[in-house]
């Protein structure tokens, strides 16, 4: 039954993709409809009217788009239901599909971990399908055909869901490639700009390199298993030597880390995510990265089994570096979607800090704390999916209404777009880890796990874990700074361009509803984290065979991961107290009608008239941080001052140019490129172009192989 | 009874906070050979501000209006979790020290947004500087907190204080470092000299004042009161974690009275030190603050290392 | 064993160890020479306190003598000498721009972890808690070397060298509860001679090449480039 739900979720997303193809088949469809009408004349009048309307030329595209997104939404709903029910049922369901080669069936397994990620994808897909129709409405059909967008969106979602179902390496890789390749087409959707094509190509290359690493990792596992069936069951049973286990782990970390966007293999992410349509960016950033996290968890905890603390250390350090560098790079961006993409790097880093902590604790025999860390990581995975999708959808609304992507040209939107501004504010608060929202809960749990470092034997680990926790604090605090910058520049202050001054609130109910769903979940999960933690506890029980202690899960008000005596957090109380204190002071101070607000001009230092150009820009806002952490970026700053008049005293013109680049582009990739080119030149010498030389090569190879065999 | 006690304690916190500010001002004036205003002057200021009609800028949004209330309630919430005169109160279990940092972050987030709302250059300047300084201060704060929590193996402030009380007077090298680190951070976070100057209105120097420049009337009163509560919060944190002696562990009248007297004495002493240091030191340049805060971080780190190296043997 | 079960003496020595470690870090990050010398004197004072404490607790007469020697040499004489040099050569207004101050500091912190890691076998084999402080003394030695590497002024090098000696001396107090009198006197004398010799060298170097920046000493290279 549960599996049927999961299958139908996949099938529906396929269907929605296929349905999108009929965008240009209106005439054929309407002929088909006339034929059906002729055959069965007793179709109810209401249906007939409705369908006739829908098949007219004006309404057809809109209706079809709505139908495509409706199917996608139902698929998301089913995925959510399937995920939740398998999480609650706490069992794992296996199945075989007889597709593919005759002796290699596709193995399917649906357990708690897959269920959790199913639910995550489900929520995001529901929100995106609510949002989608409004967003693609004004799409230019000639330039950006909806058929392409819908087809690949459907296939993309189906691919992600299939990855989670896979129980053998072949199926896994096929689904993985389906996900990667369809998302390539989505990135390349707006292909008229060469930058977008370049970003998409970069994404494809890195996705494929990552895929190769994953295949090699599976290969190592399969090499140690009994038969070469490549099923996960066989891989679980495989007994690896520690060295080979480490090699397999590192390959998986490289492959999945490339997809997840760990520093320094993140460079595709800020290029690719912003150029896709916004609702797709929401899916890519909010969900696709999580599939990579799923892959790593599945590979490490489930397939490899016996974890080593060195792996945990590697993951911890990589995670800490990613989180700090990700947010620092994000601070320097002024393209809104690029900035959000860099924040994905940061949040993936935070998730990896949690995973690293759990690996360290588990391998040192402190499973009960490892569970806390794992739950923190999984919780943050869920939270990031919620608030990052929300923020990307918000960015889409802003883009649609103002036609701007550069936040330096925005401002004052809080007055023009009241609904969007509230929802976006909730997203900003959640990602900045402010209580009482959900981002805070997962980071709090990560801290609680890190604070238990004292139980470890090794002094080096004991001192490194707090340092990485401090990196996490730095990342969280900088993220808050970054989102003050983002929200302040976009929504507050005076509008910096005409587009922004004239912007309107988004039309229709769908777009705010999609965002509202995510914002509401951010809020509810922040106030009542107990339910989610209960579910995650089931995941950890299935994966590790260990759960949190009973009193930690029991209360729905109190959150005490280790014990009440060590740390506790009661979000409902916090909310209640904030509302009470704020409400009472609000009511008390405003009771006197004579003291109503008086509006006046703001203080302008007596120089008359504030102009939007006097405001702090986003570049100016992040300037102190740019100066303090100057070594992290590659900064080119140029100031040209033109002077004239007597003694060159009068300044007529000032030009300021600032270029901030990601250092990893310059430090890591050019050497790789040079090496590849050099190797290619060396290899290229074989290509003389003379056919007899090629024959001689083949001959030599043949002789050599014969010698090897003998 | 316990809940009543918690509410009373929070009320005391909020009510006594302006008095502490008045005392600091009084000490500073005496140290600088000036005539001091009355100790009750902050109360009079608050009273005056709440009875004035507030003026807001034309383009102010709803965010600007609700921000003072958010800041004030976040500070009250923070105050309710810090043990002032008694430990083991129910409110202190609802939030540990990390959540406390979260409350400060919440207040700061809204304050910085309100600074950007009007669109004046001052507000942006203040917000930018405040967020920069706080993002450097928070890791340092966490390091100091880590040192404490590793020794006491709890992040709950009540239990941590109870731990220090139980073990009696012990010379812990790590606590010395954590104390100094926390003092440095407290100065930075509450906007005192040498990081920020609470008494200035010069554009080159101000941070906190720049953000709230557009506020007036009851809004200003709430923000001022909240920052007075915050100052007292840090003072109480330092006083009660490192020198908890005197705090009431059971709710008898005499114990509570002693606790009140002792915390007043401790805070007066701390405030005297603050006034002295503010008289002796000059404000730093903005880009020196990073060195100051990285020193605080280093202190926290050294505290942690000395806890690991010197205090635990396995 | 927890710190609670220790006697007051050990607690005090451990705290002093932590403070001595702190002074090493302070020296590492100090760009002004006069303050550097001042912190060095502070370190000497802490060392004196530790020695005096050891002498009092162990009731060991000759440790009093080494405490007095430390006080005289490292707190008073050598700082005075260095201060005089700095003032005479008019270097007290120079601020040495340290490149990568944060990196040096973090490097110092990792050195501390490293020295703990190295000494862990020694520490875990003994029952006395005092031996934990050995890790701090080793890191004081290593930090002294890092000070010499990261600073360019010759005076900073002398301070670094002397703080290495401080680290060794502290290690001797905590691990063996004092060295034989002869060795201590010898070392004290060596330090004195070294200080005087350094002083003479400073005079000559600054007279001949007009600076005490060791990077400038590269010019004395005789190989033609």
What digits encode the pLDDT tens for the residues A444-495?
Answer: 999 999 988 888 887 788 888 988 999 999 999 999 999 999 999 999 999 9
Give the Cα-Cα-Cα angle A650, A651, A655 (nearest 5 degrees).
Answer: 170
In angstroms, the CA B130 to CA C122 distance is 47
For A188-214, how does the pLDDT look when each residue is reduced to its tens digit (9 = 90+)? 988 888 888 999 999 999 999 999 999
Predicted local distance difference test score (pLDDT) of residue B40: 94
Task: Give the integer Cα–Cα distance in Å for A457 and C120.
Answer: 11
pLDDT single digits (tens) A562-610: 777 777 888 888 888 889 988 888 888 888 777 888 898 887 777 777 8
Tokens of A462: 């004991």
Residue-level pLDDT at C54: 84
Which chains does B contact via 3+ CB–CB distances below 8 A?
A, C
Render C103-142 in DSSP notation, one character per residue. HHHHHHHHHHHHHHHHHHHHHHH-S-GGGGHHHHHHHHHH
- By residue count, chain A amounts to 710
Residues in C closer than 8 angstroms to B294, CB to CB, are 102, 105
User: What are the start-end ranges of the E strands in A330-373?
Assistant: none
Neighbours of C84 (CB within 10 A): 12
Residue A707 Cα distances to A702, A704, B260, angstroms: 9, 5, 93
Stretch A152-156: mean pLDDT = 94
**DSSP strand pairing (B55-57 vs A106-110):** unpaired
> Considering only residues 368 to 427 of chain A, which have any Cβ-Cβ distance to chain B shorter than 8 Å?
411-412, 414-415, 425
With CB atoms and an 8 Å threshold, state whether B150 touches A453. yes
Alpha carbon dihedral B182, B110, B129, B181, in 10-degree steps, equals 0
Distance from the Cα of B60 to chain A's closest Cα (Å) equals 8
In which residue are the tokens 């800490």 written?
A: A320
Instruction: Tell whether C35 is within 8 A of chain B (Cβ).
Output: no
**Residues B54, A471: C-beta atoms closer than 8 Å:** no
CB A186, CB A101: distance < 8 Å: no
CB A686 within 8 A of CB A697: yes
Whether B159 and B267 have beta carbons less than 8 Å apart is answered as no
Q: Quote the CA–CA distance of A364 and A454 in Å, as a whole number.
A: 12
Q: Is residue A285 pLDDT above 60, yes or no?
A: yes
Cβ distance of C8 and B172 shorter than 8 Å? no
Inter-chain touch C22–B177, beta carbons under 8 Å: yes
- Number of domains chain B contains: 1
Within A566-649, where are the H helices? 571-589, 618-621, 623-628
CA distance B247 to B262: 7
| Contact check, Cβ <8 Å, B172/C4 | no
Q: How far apart are CA C194 and CA C202, in angstroms?
A: 12
Which residues of chain C from 112 to 131 reach within 8 Å of chain B, CB to CB? 112-113, 116, 123-124, 129
Contact B38, A570 (CB under 8 A): no
Report the C-alpha gap between B160 and A557 in whole angstroms.
22
Asked if pLDDT for residue C177 goes beyond 80, the answer is no
Q: What is the rounded end-to-end Cα distance, in angstroms, of chain B? A: 44
**Which residue is listed with tokens 């702090």?**
A616
Q: Which other chains touch chain A, taking contact as 3+ CB pairs less than 8 Å apart? A: B, C
Q: What number is the ipTM of this complex?
A: 0.95
The per-residue pLDDT for A20 is: 87
pLDDT of residue C88: 82
Report how far residue C14's alpha carbon sits from residue C8's, in angstroms, rounded to the nearest whole number. Answer: 10
Token pair, residue A29, equals 């469809």
Nearest to B170 among C3, C105, C109 (CB): C3
Contacts of B1 (CB under 8 A, 6+ apart): B251
The verdict on A672 touching B (C-beta cutoff 8 Å) is: no
B119 to chain A, any CB pair closer than 8 A? The answer is yes
Contacts of B253 (CB under 8 A, 6+ apart): none
B-C Cβ pairs (cutoff 8 Å, strict): 73
Report the share of chain C in percent with pLDDT over 90: 10
**Residues A163 and A130: beta-carbon distance below 8 Å:** no
| CA–CA separation, A77 and A83 (whole Å) | 10
Q: Is residue C223 pLDDT above 60, yes or no?
A: no
Taking an 8 Å Cβ-Cβ cutoff, which residues of chain C contact chain A?
A: 113, 116-117, 120
- Which tokens hold the place of A138? 């004004």
CB atoms within 10 A of CB B213: 20
Residue A645 pLDDT > 90: no
> Which residues of chain A from 618 to 657 reach within 8 Å of chain B, CB to CB?
620-625, 627-628
Which pLDDT belongs to residue C1? 45
Q: Which two tokens stand for residue A291?
A: 């599939």
What pLDDT sits at residue C3? 60
| Structural tokens at position A23 | 């965008």
- Domain limits for position B96: 2-311
A109-151 pLDDT tens trace: 999 999 999 999 999 999 999 999 888 887 777 778 888 899 9
- Left if phi > 0, otherwise alpha if psi is -120 to 50, otherwise beta: which for A507? beta
Residues of B in contact with A411 (CB under 8 A): 119
Residues of B in contact with A624 (CB under 8 A): 128-129, 132, 286-287
Instruction: Please name the residue of chain B whose CA is at the shortest distance from the CA of residue A475.
Output: B135
Q: What was the pLDDT predicted at B185?
A: 94
- At A160 the pLDDT is 94
Give chain C positions within 8 Å (CB) of B302. 18, 21-22, 25, 109, 112
Query: What are the residue ranges in chain B where pLDDT is below 70?
Result: 201, 203-205, 313-314
- Measure the CA dihedral A203/A209/A213/A218, to 10°: 80
Sign of CA dihedral A490, A496, A497, A500: positive
| Closest residue in chain C to residue A463, using alpha carbons only | C113
Other C-beta atoms lying within 10 Å of the C-beta of residue A2: 18
C-beta separation of B96 from A569 below 8 A:
yes
pTM to 2 decimal places: 0.92
B95–A481: do the CB atoms touch at under 8 Å?
A: no
Helix (H, G, I), strand (E, B) or coil at B1: coil
- Collapsing DSSP states into helix, strand and coil, what is residue B71? helix
Determine the pLDDT at residue A653. Answer: 86
Query: Which residue among A412, A451, A493 sits closest to B146, beta carbon to beta carbon?
Result: A451
Quick check: C157 and C148 in contact, CB under 8 A?
Answer: yes
Each residue of A62-118: pLDDT tens digit? 888 889 999 999 999 999 999 999 998 888 888 888 877 777 788 899 999 999 999
pLDDT at C178 over 70: no
Phi, psi angle pair for A606, to nearest 5° = 80, 15
**Total residues found in chain B within this entry:** 314
- Whether B311 sits inside 8 A of C105 (CB atoms) is no
Mean pLDDT of chain A: 88
Angstrom distance (rounded) from CA A526 to CA A518: 12
pLDDT recorded at residue A42: 78
What's the number of CA atoms in the CB half-sphere (13 Å) around residue A233? Answer: 10
Tokens, residue B309:
């190296």
3-state DSSP assignment of residue A320: helix
List the structure tokens of A262. Answer: 């760990």
Asked if A585's CB is within 8 angstroms of B72's CB, the reply is yes
Chain B residues lying within 8 Å of C17, measured CB to CB: 173, 306, 310
CA of A421 to nearest chain B CA: how many angstroms apart?
10
Residue linked to tokens 């099938």: A11
Calculate how close chain A gets to C14, using CA atoms only, in Å: 18
List Cα–Cα distances, A664 to A265, A587, A599, in angstroms: 8, 53, 50
State mean pLDDT over A395-419: 91
Give the bridge partners for A94, in sequence order: A109
């Amino acid at each position: 039954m549960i599996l049927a739900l999961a299958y139908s979720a996949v099938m529906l997303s396929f269907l929605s993709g296929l349905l999108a193809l009929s965008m240009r088949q209106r005439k054929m469809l309407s002929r088909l409809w006339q034929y059906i009408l002729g055959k069965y004349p007793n179709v109810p009048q209401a249906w007939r009217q409705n369908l006739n309307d829908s098949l007219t030329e004006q309404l057809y595209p809109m209706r079809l788009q709505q139908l495509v997104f409706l199917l996608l939404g139902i698929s998301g709903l089913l995925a959510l239901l399937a995920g939740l029910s398998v999480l609650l049922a706490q069992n794992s369901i296996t199945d075989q599909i007889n597709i593919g080669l005759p002796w290699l069936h596709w193995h399917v397994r649906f357990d708690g971990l897959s269920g959790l990620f199913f639910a995550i994808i489900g929520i995001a897909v529901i929100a995106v399908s609510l949002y989608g129709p409004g967003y693609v409405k004004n799409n230019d059909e000639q330039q950006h055909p909806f058929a392409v967008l819908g087809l690949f969106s459907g296939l993309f979602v189906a691919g992600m869901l299939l990855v989670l179902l896979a129980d053998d390496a072949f199926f896994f890789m096929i689904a993985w490639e389906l996900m990667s390749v369809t998302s390539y087409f989505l990135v390349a959707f707006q292909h008229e700009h060469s930058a977008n094509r370049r970003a998409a190509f970069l994404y494809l290359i890195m996705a494929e390199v990552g895929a190769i690493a994953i295949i090699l990792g599976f290969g190592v596992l399969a090499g140690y298993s009994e038969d070469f069936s490549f099923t996960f069951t066989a891989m679980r049973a495989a007994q690896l030597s520690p060295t080979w286990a480490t090699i397999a782990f590192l390959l998986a970390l490289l492959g999945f880390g490339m997809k997840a966007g760990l520093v320094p293999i993140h460079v595709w992410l800020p290029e690719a995510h912003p150029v896709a349509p916004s609702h797709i960016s929401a899916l890519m950033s909010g969900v696709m990265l999580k599939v990579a996290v799923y892959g790593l968890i599945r590979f490490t905890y489930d397939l490899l089994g016996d974890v080593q603390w060195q792996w945990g250390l590697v993951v911890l350090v990589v995670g800490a570096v990613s989180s700090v560098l990700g947010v620092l790079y994000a601070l320097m961006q002024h393209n809104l979607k690029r900035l959000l993409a860099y924040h994905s790097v940061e949040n993936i880093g935070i998730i990896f800090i949690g995973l690293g902590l759990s690996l360290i604790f588990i391998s040192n025999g402190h499973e009960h704390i490892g569970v806390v860390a794992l739950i923190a990581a999984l919780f943050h995975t869920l939270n990031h999916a919620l608030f990052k999708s929300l923020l990307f959808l918000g960015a889409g609304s802003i883009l649609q209404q103002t036609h701007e992507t550069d936040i330096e040209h925005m401002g004052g939107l809080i007055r023009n777009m009241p609904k969007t501004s509230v929802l976006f504010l909730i997203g900003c608060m959640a990602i900045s880890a402010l209580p009482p929202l959900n981002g805070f809960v997962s980071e709090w749990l990560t801290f609680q796990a890190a604070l238990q470092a004292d139980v470890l034997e090794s002094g080096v680990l004991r001192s490194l874990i707090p340092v990485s926790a401090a990196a996490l604090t730095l990342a969280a605090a900088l993220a808050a700074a970054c989102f003050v910058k983002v929200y302040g520049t976009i929504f507050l202050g005076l509008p910096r361009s005409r587009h922004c001054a004239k912007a309107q609130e988004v039309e229709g109910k769908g777009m705010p509803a999609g965002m509202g769903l995510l914002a509401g979940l951010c809020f509810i999960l922040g106030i009542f984290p107990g339910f989610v933690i209960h579910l995650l506890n089931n995941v950890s029980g299935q994966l590790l065979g260990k759960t949190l202690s009973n009193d930690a899960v029991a209360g729905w008000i109190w959150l005490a991961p280790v014990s009440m005596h060590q740390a506790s957090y009661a979000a409902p109380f916090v909310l209640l107290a904030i509302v009470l204190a704020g409400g009472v002071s609000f009511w008390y101070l405003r009771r006197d009608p004579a003291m109503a607000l008086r509006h006046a001009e703001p203080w302008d230092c007596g120089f008359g008239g504030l102009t939007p150009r006097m405001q702090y820009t986003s570049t100016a806002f992040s300037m102190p941080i740019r100066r303090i952490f100057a070594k992290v970026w590659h900064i080119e700053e140029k100031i040209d001052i033109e002077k004239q008049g007597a003694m060159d005293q009068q300044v007529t013109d000032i030009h300021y140019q600032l270029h901030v680049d990601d250092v990893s582009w310059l430090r890591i990739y050019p050497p790789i490129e040079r090496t590849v080119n050099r190797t290619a030149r060396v290899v290229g010498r074989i290509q003389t172009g003379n056919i007899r030389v090629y024959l001689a090569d083949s001959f030599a190879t043949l002789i050599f192989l014969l010698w090897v065999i003998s | 009874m316990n809940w009543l006690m918690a509410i009373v304690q929070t009320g005391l916190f909020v009510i006594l906070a302006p008095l502490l500010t008045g005392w600091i001002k009084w000490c500073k004036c005496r140290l600088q050979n000036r005539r001091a205003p009355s100790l009750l002057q902050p109360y009079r200021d608050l009273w005056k501000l709440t009875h004035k009609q507030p003026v807001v800028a034309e383009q102010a949004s709803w965010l600007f209006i609700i921000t003072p209330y958010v800041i004030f309630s976040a500070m009250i919430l923070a105050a309710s979790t810090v043990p002032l005169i008694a430990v083991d109160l129910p409110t202190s279990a609802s939030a540990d020290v990390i959540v406390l940092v979260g409350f400060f972050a919440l207040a700061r987030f809204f304050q910085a947004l309100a600074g950007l709302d009007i669109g004046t250059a001052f507000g942006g300047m203040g917000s930018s500087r405040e967020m920069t300084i706080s993002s450097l201060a928070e890791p340092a704060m966490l390091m100091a907190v880590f040192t404490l929590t590793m020794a006491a193996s709890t992040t709950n402030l009540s239990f941590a204080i109870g731990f220090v009380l139980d073990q009696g007077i012990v010379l812990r090298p790590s606590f010395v470092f954590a104390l100094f680190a926390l003092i440095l951070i407290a100065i930075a976070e509450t906007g005192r000299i040498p990081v920020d100057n609470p008494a200035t209105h010069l554009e080159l120097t101000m941070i906190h004042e720049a953000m709230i420049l557009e506020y007036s009337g009851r809004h200003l009163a709430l923000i001022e009161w909240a920052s007075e509560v915050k100052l007292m919060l840090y003072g109480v944190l330092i006083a009660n974690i490192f020198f908890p002696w005197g705090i009431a562990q059971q709710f008898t009248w005499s114990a509570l009275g002693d606790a009140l007297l002792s915390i007043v004495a401790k805070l007066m002493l701390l405030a005297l030190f603050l006034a002295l240091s503010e008289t002796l030191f000059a404000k730093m340049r903005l880009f020196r603050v990073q060195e100051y805060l990285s020193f605080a971080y280093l202190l926290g780190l050294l505290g942690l290392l000395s806890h690991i190296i010197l205090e635990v043997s396995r | 064993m927890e710190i609670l079960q220790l006697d007051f003496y050990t607690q005090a020595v451990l705290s002093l160890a932590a403070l001595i470690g702190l002074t090493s870090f302070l020296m590492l990050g100090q760009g002004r020479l006069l303050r550097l010398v001042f912190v060095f004197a502070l370190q000497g004072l802490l060392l004196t306190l530790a020695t005096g404490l050891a002498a009092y607790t162990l009731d060991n007469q000759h440790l009093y003598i080494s405490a007095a020697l430390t006080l005289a040499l490292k707190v008073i004489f050598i700082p005075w000498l260095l201060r005089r040099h700095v003032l005479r050569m008019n270097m007290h207004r120079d601020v040495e721009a340290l490149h990568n101050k944060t990196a040096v500091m973090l490097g110092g912190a990792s050195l501390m972890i490293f020295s703990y890691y190295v000494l862990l076998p020694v520490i875990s084999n003994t029952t006395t808690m005092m031996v934990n402080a050995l890790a701090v003394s080793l890191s004081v030695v290593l930090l002294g070397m890092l000070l010499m590497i990261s600073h360019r002024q010759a005076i900073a090098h002398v301070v670094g060298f002397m703080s290495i000696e401080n680290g060794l001396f502290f290690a001797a107090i905590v691990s063996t509860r004092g060295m034989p009198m002869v060795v201590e006197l010898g070392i004290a004398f060596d330090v004195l001679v070294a200080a005087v010799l350094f002083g003479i060298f400073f005079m000559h170097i600054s007279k001949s090449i007009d600076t005490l920046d060791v990077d400038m000493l590269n010019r004395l290279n005789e190989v033609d480039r």
